[in-house]
Amino acid sequence: MSAETLSAAEAGLLSCTTCHLLSRPADPANLGHCPRCGTRLVFRRHNSIQYTWALIIAATIFYIPANALPVLTTTALGSTESDTIIGGVIYLYTSGSWPLALIVLVASVMIPLGKLVALAYLLIQVQRGQVRNRHDSTRMYRLVELIGRWSMLDVFVDAFVVALVQLQPLMSVEPGPGVVFFMAVVVLTMLAAQTFDPRLLWDTPRERQAFDG
Amino acid sequence: MVEPPGSDPLPQATAVPPKRTRISVIWIIPILAAIVAIGIAVQRILSEGPTIIIVFTAAEGIEAGKTFIKYKDVNIGQVKAIRLTNDYKKVEVTAKIEKHAAGLMVQDAKFWVVRPQISLSGVSGLSTLLSGNYIGFDPGTSEQSANIFIGLDVPPVITGEAGKEFVLNSSDLGSLSIGSPLYYRRLPVGQVSGYDLQADGKAVQIKVFVRAPYDKYVVAGTRFWNVSGIDVSLGADGVNVRTESVLAILVGGISFDVPPFVPPGTAAPPDTVFTLYDDRELAMKAPDPFAKHFVLKFNESVRGLAVGAPVSFLGLTAGEVTKIGLAFDPAKGDIRPRVEVVFYPERVIEATGAKQAAQLEAFRQDDQKRRAFIRRLVEERGIRAQLKSGSLITGQLYVSIDYHANPPKVKLDFDQESPEFPTVPSDLADLEAKVGGIVEKLDKVPLEAIGKNLNKDLENLDQTLTSAKKLISNADEQLIPGLKADVEDLHKALGAVERAMNNANSSLLQSSAPAQQELRDALQEFTRAARSLRILLDELERQPSSVIRGKTEASGGVK
């Protein structure tokens, strides 16, 4: 594939965002729906860049309390302990189970942050109209979309532990406020990845001016 | 309808592309996120309590992030960091106090580490076995807030309880310690909360805490006394064992009560100073408002007489010895014991009936009458002081004031500050003389001679016994062979009888009646002989000695 390849939009064609069927627009004013799956067709998603930016910024804001506030409050034999995500990673590492520490670190800290950075990078490239390596950028986008759900691992473990460890007088585990923010970060980044239109990566600056609004 | 070109030179409208950037509604999301995040941050900052530093001698059982500060079992803070002080001698514990408890951090607030404690006076802090140690807290009364505190090594005895603290002065601490119980009518109502040496080092000040509502029973006239250990006293009425409780035996204790003669008063203010008496008797002793001092001079040794020894008046204790010394008389050139006593007339008055008491009271108040009364008692009735032995075992003496028949005449001189009271020699010398006489008589008893005689008698007895033994063995040797011969003779006799029977068989049965008559007689005779023989044998079997000693009818029959 080369950069010179004609894009569908340039050829006056529409690709379905759901089933990827290529079709002609019904009418220049009203583009119509996909004849196969019925999805409303657009050349490029409306306000894709703005939407994605907004969601990324919101996610970045929530990323701070998600890491600063405790995600788990453990009460064992009268002594209460609150752990943040990083605290848990450090605890796992110091107690010797570094593989677990690595998993938690990657899934709960690095992936959400990586997603935010990757999406921001893609958006900046699209906005500046100079997508350097369209091929790699698209691959990066796919990766972001794919791994998005896995960062819910932490929330999942939290929910499990809270539900299972309820030995009331001896030991109990309660969720901390951090987990809500963490969940918000994951959901917002997933939505951001959804609102981002990867077709923008292939547009030339001239086209982008025509589509974006 | 097409307009001719050039006829109407209207300019072409320029197509302006729609405004590229419009603010989308989506921006509400990051704005909301920012509001929430800022809100949380603000709330956190606002709910932040003060950070304090507590200095402990050691951080035993304290863990950063895990140890809480508790007051009335409520968490009011958490230890955040532990580090050594700059001089490496102590431990600095940094703790975050919750905002709602910030007002408690005043200058005299107390902190200490609560750990499980098992002592004689109780078990405490057991919950820390499960939950780990925590820092206990007791609020102070100061208004000045502070953020650096010195932690206590020992938990304070009283924490936040209502009550009052009083100070007791004592010559020594005894077996009391912090936590020793305080009793009121055997009810535990408080504890010893501290003690300290007086500044001059000559007495001990003991601080006691009386819990409300019992603190109201401590009034100005309250007496405190030590109830540590077991009080065993041996008196004329037997053995008295007095103890407050088993706990008091082990860890000591203090009791208090109001003596009956003290008028009821209002509760004493905190930190009132009281005296700690050694025992209940001392504490509850009524003060003697009227004391009359007398001097006694004896002509004998006062060894065994101690300061505080009772002065008995006709058998009632009515005073005590206050001083024992010597009196030098330069005119006569002699020196003799001088005993100062105090006499409480009130006690004598109390011991009489109500009506007489009033009369005596009148005597006491009128100096002239009183003197006349005492003078009459001494000069006419023969009242004298005398040393008497209170106990033969310990040799303790007391002063007895009693009637004596025909004592030497004396004159009382009331002009001196402490009038001299006449004395008579004690009976002790007589007693000694009597005992001496007995000992002398005992000495005269010829114990040695008696002993010797007794020894000789014993030797004789021994000899007698030996002879007796010999006699018995001789009897054995001589008599048994004789007995054997007797039996042989008997055997021979039986043989003869048998032969005679055989002869009888061959001749007598065929003969006439007279022969048979003779035979019958002979047989009867023989039967009698045999019976006698059996009796003899029975007798011999029963008592072999009858052979020697007699019972003549039995033995004669056979021989």
Same domain, A112 and A157: yes
Determine the distance in angstroms separating the CA of A188 from the nearest CA of chain B, rounded to an integer: 9
A58 CB neighbours in chain B (<8 A) are: 29-30, 32-34
Instruction: Look at residue A58 in the predicted model and tell me its pLDDT.
Output: 92
Has residue A124 been placed in a domain? yes
- Say if the Cβ atoms of A47 and B24 lie within 8 Å: yes
Single-letter amino acid, residue B66 = K
Same domain, A14 and A57: no
Summarised one tens digit per residue, pLDDT across range B166-187 is 888 888 888 888 878 888 888 8
- Say if the Cβ atoms of B30 and A78 lie within 8 Å: no
Same domain, A130 and A197: yes
Same domain, A172 and A199: yes
Summarised one tens digit per residue, pLDDT across range A150-164 is 777 777 877 887 888
Has residue A155 been placed in a domain? yes
Same domain, A84 and A142: yes
Say yes or no to pLDDT of B205 above 60: yes
- Above pLDDT 90, what percent of chain B? 3
Has residue A32 been placed in a domain? yes
Say yes or no to pLDDT of A65 above 70: yes
Same domain, A96 and A151: yes
Alpha-carbon distance B93 to B65, whole Å? 11
Same domain, A92 and A130: yes
Q: Do residues B65 and A81 touch, judged by C-beta distance below 8 A?
A: yes
Same domain, A59 and A138: yes
- Domain of A36 in residue numbering reads as 1-43
Interface confidence: ipTM more than 0.85: no
Instruction: Look at residue B558 in the predicted model and tell me its pLDDT.
Output: 46
Task: Please list, residue by residue across B384-396, b when 16 or more beta carbons sit within 10 angstroms of its beta carbon and e when fewer do.
Answer: bbbbebbeeeeee
Nearest alpha carbon to residue A51 among B136, B21, B64: B21
CATH number at residue A196: 1.20.140
Has residue A213 been placed in a domain? no
Find the residue in A nearest to B27 (Cα).
A54
Same domain, A24 and A74: no
Q: Do residues B218 and B254 touch, judged by C-beta distance below 8 A?
A: no
Segment B50-70 shows an average pLDDT of 86
Instruction: Look at residue A78 in the predicted model and tell me its pLDDT.
Output: 60
Reduced to 3 states (helix: H, G, I; strand: E, B; else coil), residue B520 is: helix
Instruction: Look at residue B508 in the predicted model and tell me its pLDDT.
Output: 56
Sign of CA dihedral B554, B555, B556, B559: positive
Mutate to test the interface with B, among A48, A67, A74, A80 (most CBs of B within 10 A): A80
Q: Do residues B226 and B277 touch, judged by C-beta distance below 8 A?
A: yes
Q: Is A58 on the interface with B (CB under 8 A)?
A: yes
Pairing type for strands B134-138 and B110-114 reads antiparallel
**Whole-model pTM above 0.90?**
no
Alpha-carbon distance A125 to A117, whole Å? 12
Instruction: Look at residue B214 in the predicted model and tell me its pLDDT.
Output: 87
Same domain, A5 and A94: no
Has residue A39 been placed in a domain? yes
Alpha-carbon distance B266 to B220, whole Å? 7
Same domain, A55 and A140: yes
Of B21, B37, B68, the CB nearest to A64: B37
Mean of pLDDT over chain B = 80
- Token output for B139: 């609020």
Alpha-carbon distance B95 to B59, whole Å? 13
Residue A143 region, left (φ>0) first, then alpha (ψ -120 to 50), else beta?
alpha
Determine the distance in angstroms separating the CA of B89 from the nearest CA of chain A, rounded to an integer: 29
The burial of A192, by beta-carbon neighbours within 10 Å (0-12 exposed, 13-18 middle, 19 or more buried), is given as buried
Summarised one tens digit per residue, pLDDT across range B70-116 is 888 888 888 888 999 899 999 999 998 988 888 888 888 888 888 77
Domains in chain A, number: 2
- Say if the Cβ atoms of A58 and B127 lie within 8 Å: no
Of A58, A65, A213, the CB nearest to B20: A213
Angle between helices B28-46 and A48-68 (to 10 degrees): 20
Alpha-carbon distance B244 to B228, whole Å? 8
Same domain, A157 and A93: yes
Rg of the Cα trace of chain A?
22
